[in-house]
Amino acid sequence: MQEWISSGWLSGDSYDAHRAEDVARFLDAAATDLAAHVPTCPDWDVAALCDHLARVYQGRGFVIANRAFAAPGDFVTREEGADPLAWVRRWSDRLDEVLAGLPDDAPTVTFMPGADEVLFWRRRMALETLVHRTDAELAVGRIPEMDDELSADGVEELLWFLTHPEMDHDDGMEATSVVELTDGSRVWSIALSDAAAGLPDAGEAPQATVRGSAPALLLALSGRDLDRLGAARFGVEAPHLEGDETAYRRLLTRLGEF
């Protein structure tokens, strides 16, 4: 695992604590209006968002318990008329059960080459919950608040995902695009070509620099269109782009395909 990706991870206990807090906030928001439209997921209402989060928890609980990914037939679906909130609680509790007592370095399988410890899933589930909690709060008219350190960790995770070998493809752009993102205290850089994504060469200047808070950067990289939806609704300012917009849009497109 590349050092630039692995050096800033939090502890498993920290990830679990963040997830517990954000699950509670997700459920509190969802309980106010299950029929509310989710602007960040245009095809869903809040009940559908509950089903999605529950399915994620169900699948990741399975892989942690079995060291193998769940097949489609392994998933249980919510019965018609059953409470979506109780469904999320059920699978959140199950995730807690399979993680209980496991050290961060317990072996597992993941979708990222070289990542084979349970800490990967603790991190992934904390960040999944953080982003979907903001979706739920936005849907019911609340202004989300996002932890800065966890959000910065999420930016690193998403850039790491772009280095997955299966993400290599020809996007029709021959030149390499270097994009730098910064929240003022931390800087992340990634080089995109039609064959790979990874660290830029030493001294290679970025074609685009994107400045914003860590929460704003995480939301933007996660496909939340802050300009269209209104960044103030998320409690952030939209990231500011300097340089080549095409390079930044290339980054967002590649992330959207992951």
Domains: count for the chain = 2
Contacts of 228 (CB under 8 A, 6+ apart): none
Kindly state whether residues 94 and 154 are assigned to the same domain: no
Q: Could you list the residue range(s) of the whole structural domain that residue 246 is in?
A: 150-256
pLDDT for 121 equals 98
Q: What percent of the chain has pLDDT over 90?
A: 83
Could you say which of 143, 177, 203 is where a domain stops?
143
pTM: 0.94
Q: Could you tell me the maximum CA-CA distance found in the chain, to the nearest angstrom?
A: 58
pLDDT reported for residue 1: 37
Q: Determine the average pLDDT of the residues in 221-248.
A: 96
129 lies in the same domain as 197: no
In this prediction, residues 31-56 reach a mean pLDDT of: 98
What CATH number should be reported for the domain holding residue 91? 1.20.120
- In a shared domain, residues 82 and 192: no
Which of 109, 126, 143 terminates a domain? The answer is 143
Determine the 3-state secondary structure of 117 from DSSP: strand
- When pLDDT is cut at 50, 70 and 90, the band that residue 198 belongs to is confident
56 and 110 in a single domain? The answer is yes
- Average pLDDT in the 224-231 region? 95
Q: What is the CATH number of the domain that holds 240?
A: 3.30.1050.10
| Final residue of a structural domain among 127, 143, 159 | 143
